[in-house]
Amino acid sequence: MRSRTPKVLHELCGIPMVLWPVRAALAAGAGQVVVVDAPERALEGMLPEGVRLAVQPHSDGTGGAVVAGIAELDSDAADAPVVVLSGDVPLVSADTIAELVHAHEASGAGATMASTVLEDPTGYGRVVRDEHGAVESVVETKTDGDATPEQLEIREVNTGIYVFSAHALREVLPRLSADNAQGELYLPQALDLIRVDGGTVAAHAIADERLVLGVNDRAALAQVRALAQEAIHARHMAAGVTIVDPRATVIDVDVQIGRDTTIEPFTTIRGATRIGEGCVVRHSYLIDSVLENGATVGPFAYLRPGSVLREGAKAGTFVEIKNSNIGAGAKIPHLSYIGDADVGEGANLGASTITANYDGQRKHRTTIGRRVRSSVHVSFVAPVTVGDEAYTGAGSVIHEDVPPGALGIARARQTNKEGYAERRARALAPKDAS
């Protein structure tokens, strides 16, 4: 990845890549989920409640990772099948995991691996079959010398997803060898050892290769992100959301959108944003915000974390909102910044309304009451309160509270200087050299 960030912590549609297979395992009904991490414990604090973190003391390969992980399993799960997923194979679905476990239990095998056929299998371990079609071995291809030229021509690959009989897996793990070009413990060797012990190894082919694509670089991450985004869009559209141009729309996996909402092109919706029914979002950027039913945003609006638009509220053209509660039916039509504010229902804030919320040390809140009408180019210097049904004059800098129903004006009185243009012209005219 050429990155200081561990590969599985690279973001994929709003969450770290590793959380995709973790969530799939939980949705598939896994009784226990263990995630294996390096000694730096970069994943600590990022996992869902109930998911355990195991530490692999040394970077000694996939086999060493499973040794660390299986040690964290409870003894009362000794007879349950053990599913091994990869943190860099994020699109595996709960249905695929359940299907693989079912195939494993039906076959009675000691181990079942998930395979698929790729047009370009570069970087994947190749599945070698015998003359009867049974799985003979899995050959790694990480470095020169791991596989022969003939094996490199094989397009059926190991996806890194397995189901093991817990007993069989525990028997063979201590016998894994690092006798390979990489000097690592390769988990596929466990399949060979299970066969040596008289067990059988099955392979379950995954027809949709997209579900088992691995991420080894940023180009692959972009490919997987496009597939994940396509699935997210399809889920929302199937639920009654109009996405005018999915190719020009970014929506994170945890975003919720109600039916009959329209998302217009060049919109990005990030984090855990929740959008109600009948909303319209036009060419805007939303992060961790809430839109209640009938709210409208944009075009070219920016809703930062903590922004809440109540029912029927509007954030219009070139409006930025941060950590603010905009009341039902309130309108901020254009060219405004509203930060750390509470705006009452039915308020209408004119163009270029600004809340000056920061005094250089602390953030302060602005409270704007119900049905307030602010004229254009008004700044509210927090902390300040504007009462219900109050007005403010254009160009005002409001730094004191405005009582309900009052008109607040805070600006210098205009002065006109007669004859100014003529005097200025004379002053700037060239002096007579004589």
The tens digit of pLDDT for each residue in 91-140 reads: 999 999 999 999 999 988 999 999 999 888 888 889 988 887 778 888 88
Distance CA 53, CA 378 (A): 53
Q: Which residues contact 412 (CB under 8 A, 6 or more apart)?
A: none
Distance CA 206, CA 214 (A): 14
Spelled out in words, what is the top-level CATH class assigned to the domain 18-212?
alpha beta
> Is this model's pTM higher than 0.95 or not?
no
Distance CA 343, CA 360 (A): 23
| Average pLDDT over all residues of the chain | 94
Q: Is the CATH number of domain 218-408 3.40.640.10?
A: no
334 is catalytic: yes
Q: Select which of 10, 236, 334, 377 is catalytic.
A: 334
Residue of 281 and 146 predicted with greater confidence:
281
Report the share of the chain in percent with pLDDT over 70.
Answer: 99
* Residue 392 pLDDT exceeds 80: yes
String of DSSP letters for 226-242:
HHHHHHHHHHHHHTT-E
pLDDT of residue 35: 97
Distance CA 187, CA 184 (A): 9
* Residue 11 pLDDT exceeds 80: yes
Q: Where are the domains of the chain?
A: 18-212, 218-408
